[in-house]
Amino acid sequence: MGKMSVELCGIKLDNPIIPASGTFGYGYEFAELYDINVLGSFSFKGTTKDARFGNPTPRIAECTAGMINAVGLQNPGVDKVISEELPKLKQCFNKKVMANVSGFSVDDYAYTVEKLDGEDQIGWFEVNVSCPNVHGGGMSFGTDPSAAAEVTRAVKAVTDKPIIIKLSPNVTDIVSIAKACEEAGADGISLINTLLGMRISLKTKRPIIANTMGGFSGSAIFPVALRMVYQVSKAVNIPVVGMGGVSSAEDVIEMMLAGATAVEIGAANLVNPYICRDIIAELPSVMDKYGINDLSEIIGGAH
């Protein structure tokens, strides 16, 4: 069997498969369905300084080959995550986990990362400067190189753990933002978060989502994600975590050839909760089919 392990920012993963933040809760919900220790890691639900109820409903709209969501970072806040969510996670997952952190100011990001820094199980911080459906935070930092760099510097100052900055595709030049984050000290880049989209109800003749617009995800966005992963991985000298419409073992291989060290799977988890487990099981035969002996050797192979 081919070698599936990869190294992400100095931490070894048994395989490159990581369920994406917001689609896998805090892990224990999926542990009721299968042994989640088969995963490389996972990125837990976006966590903020204070508890958030999220956006008004309806928050979800279906569309061809994907979905639109405007959940709005609903979460119990960092203190409850530490006191309630992480102890439950520890009982069912024995690997390092990725902490996804969001904020509405530079201080918010730094506060939340510093709070979580003492948790042994957290291996990396995935700092989300790219949420398209929260007013006044998230994407406002991710669309400007200097703002993204400022967040990067602030979180790097409060932890020695690897910082992976999660970027938005809703920009003209994603490469300049990635390079600004690298120069500010980022240890890795993850991309892409959702594209901005909307649906209108023909019955009510109004937007379906209460927030009007939301994040468009699903297999329809895969070619856009692949292109951006390719561009960014060519431009930076730090690892890239690729995501966006990934729903098969073949997609994982394609993402890695584009330059991804690890691959996150998001919307597909909501369609099939076993998708990550199944992709991991299928990877050896797909590797064999394409003559791949070691996944770490194909990273950026299409450059």
* Percent of the chain whose predicted confidence (pLDDT) is above 90: 91
Distance CA 222, CA 229 (A): 10
Whole-number average pLDDT of the chain: 94
Q: How confident is the model at residue 141 (pLDDT cuts 50, 70, 90)?
A: confident
Q: How confident is the model at residue 134 (pLDDT cuts 50, 70, 90)?
A: very low
Given a cut of 90, whether residue 285 has pLDDT beyond it is yes
Q: How confident is the model at residue 131 (pLDDT cuts 50, 70, 90)?
A: low
Q: Say which residues have a Cβ less than 8 Å from residue 92's Cβ, sequence separation at least 6.
A: 27, 28, 31, 36
276 is catalytic: no
Q: How confident is the model at residue 139 (pLDDT cuts 50, 70, 90)?
A: low
Locate 8 and state its tokens: 């992400």
Dihedral of CA 93/97/102/108: which sign? positive
Predicted TM-score (pTM) of the model is 0.95
CB 193 within 8 A of CB 166: yes
pLDDT computed for residue 301 by the predictor: 98
DSSP assignment of 275-302, as one string? HHHHHHHHHHHHHHHTT-SBGGGGTTTT
Average pLDDT over residues 100-121: 95
Given a cut of 70, whether residue 132 has pLDDT beyond it is no
Distance CA 191, CA 94 (A): 26
Report the amino acid identity of residue 275: I
Terminal alpha carbon distance of the chain: 26
pLDDT computed for residue 145 by the predictor: 92
Given a cut of 80, whether residue 148 has pLDDT beyond it is yes
Q: How confident is the model at residue 140 (pLDDT cuts 50, 70, 90)?
A: low
The residue with tokens 């000290």 is 185
Q: How confident is the model at residue 73 (pLDDT cuts 50, 70, 90)?
A: confident
pLDDT computed for residue 7 by the predictor: 98
Q: Is 19 helix (H, G, I), strand (E, B) or coil?
A: strand
* Percent of the chain whose predicted confidence (pLDDT) is above 70: 97
Average pLDDT over residues 38-45: 97
DSSP assignment of 179-201, as one string? HHHHHTT-SEEEE--PEEE--B-
- Which residues on adjacent β-strands are paired with residue 294? 3
Q: Say which residues have a Cβ less than 8 Å from residue 32's Cβ, sequence separation at least 6.
A: none
Q: Mind listing the pLDDT tens digit for each residue in 12-33?
A: 999 999 999 999 999 999 999 9
What the chain holds in terms of domains, given with CATH numbers, is: 6-298 (3.20.20.70)
Which runs of E-coded beta strand occur in the chain? 6-8, 11-13, 17-19, 60-63, 66-69, 97-101, 122-128, 163-166, 188-191, 195-197, 214-217, 240-242, 260-265
In the 8-state DSSP scheme, what is residue 50?
S
Which of the following is catalytic: 9, 63, 92, 131? 131
The distance of Cα 268 from the centroid of its chain, to the nearest Å, equals 13
**Burial class of residue 106, CB neighbours in 10 A (0-12, 13-18, 19+):** middle
Q: Mind listing the pLDDT tens digit for each residue in 230-274?
A: 999 999 999 999 999 999 999 999 999 999 999 999 999 999 999
What φ, ψ does residue 245 adopt, rounded to 5°? 80, 10
β-bridge pairing 6-8 and 11-13: antiparallel
**Other beta carbons less than 10 A from residue 186's beta carbon:** 26
